């Protein structure tokens, strides 16, 4: 195992350098080795890439990996809506054999609103990708295999596809957990670039992949931009548009009004089964260490009238099998 306590300016083997670069990143590695700039680190990486005939990628450099594999999704898609409804769910982290309350509600709303629907969006992290994560397992926790997860996502999204039946387009902005699929392959087997099946979108042909979906040019749907408790407001503030994201699992709508009018920063929450007085599900129970988290289970309904977005609405899971919407509790 590499010695991450290597003293400054000490020599490290090629194997140690690669492992440290891929786990620490170039800046942290330069500091660890006592360099004043990252230039020597990048120079050595370039030499090793030629020697090893593979890319050496820093952690979290998802977009670089996808570009190298030829698997990056279209950066931006566009959708024009005059009147109608869009349902946006996010961060389902689907696991085999588990059907959450939020997912059952999502199917219910797709069926009930089908005539009004202009799009259905799953806003990233539909796949959890636990076994292909850069994070080590916690203890001897049991994780589903990748094929088990893929089959679970196919089953759940297949239920949506069956209800919609081609009545409106289906979109899937890529999430950071979804990106693990191509990232892993681009990392360990770059020679498979562009081979059918090595990209997540190959397995879900009915869903249009992208980084961002622009609706009427003033509403942006994507998995994430800013982080932190003020992310929704900052997203709307910095982009100048209404921004619908996931990633933070917080399920909230934050209005922002200025000289341009009112726009919103929206977090779609998560579609995992909530830990209402109990730990969250298998996807999160161990790394959360049974700590309280500001998460809420549910999804978002967007209604457009004459091209303008009305106040975004929340479908909130209030208890197992129950959601609230427009002042009513619905059994699902």
The pLDDT, as a whole number, for residue 176 is 77
Tell me, rounded to whole angstroms, the distance of Cα 210 from its chain centroid.
12
Residue boundaries of the structural domains of the chain = 14-59, 76-331
* pLDDT mean over 18-22: 84
Is residue 296 within 8 A of residue 284, CB to CB? The reply is no
Helix/strand number for the chain, H first, E second: 9, 15
The candidate with the shortest Cα–Cα distance to 174, out of 63, 278, 21, 14, is 63
Residue 236: pLDDT over 60: yes
Higher local confidence (pLDDT), 196 or 94: 94
Tell me, rounded to whole angstroms, the distance of Cα 4 from its chain centroid.
30
Is residue 29 within 8 A of residue 41, CB to CB? The reply is yes
d(Cα 296, Cα 286) in Å, to the nearest integer?
18
Is residue 168 within 8 A of residue 161, CB to CB? The reply is no
The candidate with the shortest Cα–Cα distance to 212, out of 186, 242, 249, is 242
What one-character DSSP code corresponds to residue 273? Answer: P
The pLDDT, as a whole number, for residue 35 is 85
Would you call 16 exposed, middle or buried from its count of C-beta atoms within 10 A (0-12, 13-18, 19+)? middle
The pLDDT, as a whole number, for residue 187 is 61
Is residue 109 within 8 A of residue 86, CB to CB? The reply is no
Reported as a pLDDT band with limits 50, 70 and 90, residue 240 is very high
C-alpha pair distances (Å), 131 with each of 51, 142, 148, 196, 296: 29, 10, 11, 22, 25
Is residue 289 within 8 A of residue 275, CB to CB? The reply is no
Higher local confidence (pLDDT), 8 or 213: 213
Is residue 272 within 8 A of residue 280, CB to CB? The reply is yes
Structure tokens at 309: 């977005």
CA angle 180, 128, 284 (to 5 degrees): 130
Range with the poorest average pLDDT among 8-17, 31-40, 55-64, 313-322: 55-64
What one-character DSSP code corresponds to residue 241? Answer: S
Residue 301: pLDDT over 60: yes
Question: What's the whole-model pTM score?
Answer: 0.74
d(Cα 184, Cα 191) in Å, to the nearest integer?
13
The candidate with the shortest Cα–Cα distance to 150, out of 118, 121, 182, is 182
Helix or strand holding residue 47 (H, E): helix 39-52
- Write the CATH number of the domain with boundaries 76-331: 3.60.21.10
């Amino acid at each position: 195992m590499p010695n991450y306590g290597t003293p400054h300016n000490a020599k490290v083997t090629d194997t140690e350098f690669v492992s440290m670069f891929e786990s620490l990143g170039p800046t942290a590695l330069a500091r660890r080795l006592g360099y004043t700039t990252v230039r020597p680190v990048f120079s050595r990486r370039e030499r090793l890439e030629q020697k090893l005939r593979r890319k050496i990628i820093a952690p979290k450099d998802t977009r670089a990996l996808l570009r190298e594999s030829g698997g990056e999704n279209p950066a931006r898609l566009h959708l024009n809506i005059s009147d109608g409804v869009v349902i946006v769910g996010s961060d389902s982290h689907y696991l085999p054999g588990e059907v959450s309350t939020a997912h059952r509600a999502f199917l219910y709303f797709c069926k009930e609103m089908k005539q009004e629907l202009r799009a259905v969006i799953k806003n990233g992290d539909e796949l959890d990708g636990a076994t292909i994560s850069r994070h080590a397992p916690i203890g001897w926790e049991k994780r589903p295999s990748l094929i088990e997860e893929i089959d679970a996502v196919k089953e759940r999204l297949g239920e949506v596809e069956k209800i919609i039946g081609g009545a409106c387009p289906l979109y899937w902005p890529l999430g950071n957990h979804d990106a693990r699929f191509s990232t892993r392959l681009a990392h360990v087997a770059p020679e498979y670039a562009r081979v059918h099946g090595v990209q997540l979108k190959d397995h879900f042909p009915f869903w249009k992949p992208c980084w961002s979906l622009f609706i009427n040019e003033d509403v942006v749907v994507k998995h994430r931009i800013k982080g932190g408790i003020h992310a929704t407001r900052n997203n709307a503030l910095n982009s100048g548009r209404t921004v619908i994201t996931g990633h933070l699992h917080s399920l909230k709508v934050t209005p922002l009004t200025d000289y341009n009018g009112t726009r919103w920063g929206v977090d779609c929450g998560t579609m995992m089964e909530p830990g209402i007085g109990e730990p969250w599900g298998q996807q999160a129970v161990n790394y959360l260490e049974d700590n309280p988290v500001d998460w809420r289970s549910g999804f978002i309904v967007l209604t457009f009238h004459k091209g303008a977005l009305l106040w975004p609405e929340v479908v909130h899971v209030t208890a197992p099998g129950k959601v609230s919407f427009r002042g009513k509790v619905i059994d699902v």
